[in-house]
Amino acid sequence: MPDRHDLDTLAPLEGPDAPRPRLDRTLQIPRDIMLGAITLTLVATTQPLVAPNAIQEALQPTIESPSPLRAVLEERAPYWHPLTRERVADAIEESTERHAIDPALVLAIITTESRFRTKAKSPVGAIGLLQLLPNTAASFARRAGVRWRGPQTLEHPIHNVRIGVEYLAWLIDRFDGDVDHAVAAYCYGPMRIRRILAARELGRTEYNRRVLAALDALRPRFEVEPEPSRPDPAALAAVDATTSDRFISKPLLDRYVEALPPTEREDHFLPALGGA
């Protein structure tokens, strides 16, 4: 009868208890070489290629200053939820751009009408940021892309802004592009302003003076052109031109150099980008 070793040789164990063949024996590779290759593979897959610190810092996302519109909302309505401010800013930008209206004018009217109180109500029943009368707002809601659900719709600041800008744009068009007349009609009603203009020249109303004062206070904020955000050229000069390509991620370097104006690109980086 064959002994145990002979039986193991003739009928190896199967199933979960069966011994697993060693990779180095199966491939007939020396164990030291196999372990070294596995170590290098783990290092290569777990340690991404890192660019020099100067390039990494230059490519960090830049925290840009808020736009003038958003800066005004942060200043005048600090108690709003940040998401509300962002959505109101988007609504003002989109609506004013569509109708070619100065966004500062809309902010000036909001300042005059409600001082950024979203649920403000006047004695005559005007509601919200732009103090719209429900009857008037209901007529312009569909044109503004807002579903009208009754007067409570105007307590929603985004809906209020969209309907209010739509109404203001209609007034400007009705008065042949005369913003002063349109602003007066926004407060006193278009029919009343029409009757006054039919009888005499319309002087600057008290309401117009208040809106103009608010607009003058806002105007400097919108006239300053923010500088475009781009990587600091000094960071490029800080990188040693002799640094080996093995330590610089080419896609990372491409992004950095291509973000610079052509006049500020260093010649010694062109070979790394495939240039002449």
Continuous segment of H or E residues that includes residue 187: helix 179-188
Cβ-Cβ contacts under 8 Å for 77 (sequence gap 6 or more):
85, 116
Q: Is 223 noted as a catalytic residue in this protein?
A: no
For the chain, give the secondary structure using H, E and C: CCCHHHHHHHCCCCCCCCCCCCHHHHCCCCHHHHHHHHHHHHHHHHCCCCCCHHHHHHCCCCCCCCCHHHHHHHHHCCCCCHHHHHHHHHHHHHHHHHHCCCHHHHHHHHHHHCCCCCCCECCCCCECCCCECHHHHHHHCCCCCCCCCCHHHHHCHHHHHHHHHHHHHHHHHHCCCCHHHHHHHHHHCHHHHHHHHHHCCCCCCHHHHHHHHHHHHHHHHHHCCCCCCCCCHHHHHCCCCCCCHHHCCHHHHHHHHHCCCHHHCCHHHCHHHCCC
Out of 14, 113, 227, 258, which one is annotated catalytic? 113
Q: Which residues are catalytic?
A: 113
